[in-house]
Amino acid sequence: MKKAILMLVGVGLSVLTAVAGESRVFALATTRDVTPALTTRVIAYLETHSGAVVRPTEFMPVESGQDIEAIGRAAAQRLAADEIGVLVLGQFGVDQPQGVCLPHEQFGILNLSRLGEGVDEDRLVRRAGQDGLRVLAMLVGLSPCPFPLCVLTGYEKTEDLDRMSGNFCPPCLDRFTRRAREAHLQMKPVGADEPTQDESTADDDVSASVD
Ligand SMILES: [Zn+2]
């Protein structure tokens, strides 16, 4: 009996420590039609360009034809105590929107069927990474950026992403880092990851100034 009570106290303490210890994270949930390799590449992209830790979680169950906003909401309900919000990735069909982000409900969801239409995996990783960065930024309350060489600038068509920067402009990276610190988000040690090869084209200048 005493042992059971001690174990409960232990669980309670570890939850408290996780929050008080300033180690919250972004969660990344995927549906079963996303390969682990693709998930790993998108997480690497997000962590490299945001500096924040992104934690992969268990697969999201999805009913056929389920609305992506409802899927995102269901993912948010599964958030752990130390997770600040969730980014959901899945193949939801070309008839559904490219993505939905509701920061006040702690989720953003991206439709890889739309992002990956007619492009190879490298291009898909970059697009999902770009839109994923936009979701992470919104989850910590950042607004869009007027600077065209920034991933937070406005765009209209999916293909526009390919001409856009793959990362935050320096002021947005500063704002993101400050908001992340205020939200007690766990950050990667500086220089832990080499930049990926995905940012080889239009954003070279920006990456250089960010680094
Ligand atoms: Zn910016």
Number of domains in the chain: 1
* 120 occurs within a structural domain: yes
As residues whose CB is below 5 A from the ion ligand 1, the structure lists 145, 147, 150, 152, 169, 172
Residue 147 lies in a domain: no
32 located within any domain: yes
CA separation for the pair 69, 100 (Å, rounded):
6
Contact between 176 and 49 under an 8 Å Cβ cutoff? The reply is no
CA of 25 to the centre of ligand 1 (A): 22
Q: What is the pLDDT of residues 149-191, one digit of tens each?
A: 999 999 999 999 999 999 999 999 999 999 999 999 999 886 5
pTM attached to this predicted model: 0.81
Match 């006040």 to its residue by tokens.
104
Please say whether the dihedral angle defined by the alpha carbons of residues 33, 55, 102 and 172, taken in this order, is positive or negative.
negative
Residue 59 is part of which domain span? 24-142+173-187
Question: What tens digit of pLDDT does each residue of 60-90 get?
Answer: 999 988 999 999 999 999 999 999 999 999 9
In a domain, 202, yes or no: no
Domain-embedded: residue 113: yes
Q: How far is the CA of 207 from the centre of ligand 1 (A)?
A: 12
Residue 201 forms part of a structural domain: no
Q: What is the CATH number of the domain that holds 64?
A: 3.40.390.10
With respect to residue 100, please indicate whether it lies within any of the assigned structural domains.
Answer: yes
